[in-house]
């Protein structure tokens, strides 16, 4: 006898979502309809470029809808005509109105990259790292009108320190989220009356959307704070500063134990600019710059030695990084 299954639609956009969609397509729960953000202009030619989910959907020859918003009545009508049992949502980037939430038979399930109710909102992975959380995780949530306020079917914890960088952390959360989602879907097939648990009322906090202001390095902050900022933002929108009129993106950095240099009370000062490392004084502690990128030349990432050898006019002892926000990239 054939095992009962579910008719699924999917809504998501970046790599995180594509990992989950790929897992679904290889399981007993493939999706027949995909909603994703419209193609965006990119590069100097401003050519329209599809996101990760659109690329995967095209490879899988899936039906795709790309509404600018879900106030688009035609897109909503097509979703309603598809008649999904469940709409899976993962980093879609558009708010779902009640009219959409009401379409699927069993509602909408969100794969959210945090341990709810901590870090509800748009940037849970980065905000957890920037806040110094030791752990984060992923949750399968029944969506409702409130922002990530719905009850939770299941969650899984990930130790942040076990990942080498933010990209690995994001990938691990996506993979764990996909596995957890399959388990919940199997439970839903076995027991259609399955009920999620309400989120705790304590511990609620919100992961605000990342903006250009989050990239600016404030050297008045302590070294651990800046190192977390660099780690959290390195994947897509690196932390940035300026020195000698040049914009500098910091791609990797390490907080050093204080006391190696006498404190000059000059946050942003290069206290060491040797052949092997660059060390900057912070409001508290020291930051070693492990990898960076300039708005000069080809803009390739380089280690401290390459930066010192290639741009000795910028990276010299006692030079000072700007404490004000660097100019925004064009």
Q: What is the mean pLDDT of the chain?
A: 92
pLDDT of residue 48: 92
What phi, psi does 221 have (nearest 5°)?
-70, 165
Average pLDDT over every residue of 216-230: 96
Give the separation between CA 22 and CA 142, rounded to whole angstroms: 21
Phi-psi region of 105 (alpha: psi -120 to 50; beta: other; left: phi over 0): alpha
Residue with tokens 């989050």: 214
pLDDT of residue 326: 47
- Are β-strands 239-243 and 246-256 bridged in parallel, bridged antiparallel, or unpaired? antiparallel
Name the CATH superfamily housing domain 8-207.
Formyl transferase, N-terminal domain (3.40.50.170)
Least confident of 1-5, 164-168, 249-253: 1-5
Query: Using alpha carbons only, what angle is made at residue 257 by residues 248 and 280, rounded to the nearest 5 degrees?
Result: 25
pLDDT of residue 264: 62
Residue with tokens 């806040």: 131
212-310 is a CATH 3.30.479.30 domain: no
Strand partners, 139: 112, 155
- Are β-strands 8-12 and 31-35 bridged in parallel, bridged antiparallel, or unpaired? parallel
Instruction: Give the H or E element holding residue 124.
Output: helix 124-130
pLDDT of residue 1: 38
Q: What letter would DSSP give residue 288?
A: E
pLDDT in tens, 61-116: 999 999 999 988 999 999 999 999 999 999 999 989 999 999 999 999 999 999 99
Q: Which of 63, 68, 328 is nearest to 212 (CA)?
A: 328
Those residues with Cβ within 8 angstroms of residue 262's Cβ, 6 or more apart along the chain or in another chain:
none
- Cα 113 to chain centroid, rounded: 9
pLDDT in tens, 160-216: 999 999 999 999 999 999 999 999 999 999 999 999 999 999 999 999 999 999 999
Please report which confidence band the pLDDT of residue 260 belongs to, taking 50, 70 and 90 as the band edges. low
pLDDT of residue 43: 72
- What percent of the chain clears pLDDT 90, i.e. is strictly above it? 82
pLDDT in tens, 13-66: 999 999 999 999 999 999 999 999 999 988 777 889 999 999 999 999 999 999
pLDDT of residue 41: 87
Query: Using alpha carbons only, what angle is made at residue 131 by residues 126 and 133, rounded to the nearest 5 degrees?
Result: 90
Instruction: Tell me the whole-structure pTM to 2 decimals.
Output: 0.92
Give the separation between CA 55 and CA 180, rounded to whole angstroms: 24
Residues of the chain with CATH 3.40.50.170: 8-207
Residues of the chain with CATH 3.10.25.10: 212-310
Query: Using alpha carbons only, what angle is made at residue 238 by residues 14 and 320, rounded to the nearest 5 degrees?
Result: 175
What phi, psi does 187 have (nearest 5°)?
-65, -35
Q: Is 203 exposed, middle or buried (0-12, 13-18, 19+ CB in 10 A)?
A: exposed
Average pLDDT over every residue of 244-258: 91
- What percent of the chain clears pLDDT 70, i.e. is strictly above it? 93
Helix axes 52-59, 15-25, angle to 10 degrees: 20
Give the separation between CA 21 and CA 36, rounded to whole angstroms: 12
pLDDT of residue 320: 95
Strand partners, 33: 9, 63
Average pLDDT over every residue of 322-328: 62
């Amino acid at each position: 006898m054939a095992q009962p299954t579910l008719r699924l639609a999917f809504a998501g956009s970046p790599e995180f979502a594509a990992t989950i969609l790929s897992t679904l397509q290889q399981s007993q729960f493939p999706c027949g309809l995909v909603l994703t953000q419209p193609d965006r202009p990119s590069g100097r030619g401003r050519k329209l470029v599809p996101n990760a989910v659109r690329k995967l959907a095209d490879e899988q020859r899936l039906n795709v809808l790309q509404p600018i918003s879900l106030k688009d009545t035609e897109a909503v009508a097509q979703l309603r005509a598809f008649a999904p049992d469940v709409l899976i949502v993962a980093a879609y980037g558009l708010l779902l109105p009640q009219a959409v939430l009401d379409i699927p038979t069993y509602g909408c399930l969100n794969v959210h990259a945090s341990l709810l109710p901590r870090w509800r909102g748009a940037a849970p992975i980065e905000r957890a790292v920037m806040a110094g959380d030791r752990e984060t995780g992923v949750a399968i949530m029944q969506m409702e009108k409130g922002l990530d306020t719905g009850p939770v079917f299941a969650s899984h914890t990930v130790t942040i320190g076990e990942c080498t960088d933010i990209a690995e952390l994001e990938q691990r959360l996506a993979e764990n989220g996909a596995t957890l989602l399959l388990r919940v879907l199997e439970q839903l097939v076995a027991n259609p009356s399955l009920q999620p648990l309400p989120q705790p009322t304590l511990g609620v906090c919100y992961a605000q959307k990342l903006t250009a202001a989050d990239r600016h390095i404030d050297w008045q902050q302590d070294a651990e704070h800046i190192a977390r900022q660099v780690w959290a933002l390195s994947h897509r929108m690196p932390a940035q500063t300026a020195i000698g009129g040049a914009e500098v993106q910091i791609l990797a950095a390490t907080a050093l134990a204080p006391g190696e240099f006498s404190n000059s009370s000059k946050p942003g000062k290069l206290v060491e600019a040797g052949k092997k490392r660059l060390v900057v004084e912070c409001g508290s502690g020291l930051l070693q710059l492990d990898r960076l990128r300039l708005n000069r030349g080809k803009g390739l990432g380089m280690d401290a030695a390459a930066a010192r050898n290639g741009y000795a006019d910028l990276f010299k002892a006692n030079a000072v990084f700007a404490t004000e926000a660097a100019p925004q990239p064009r």
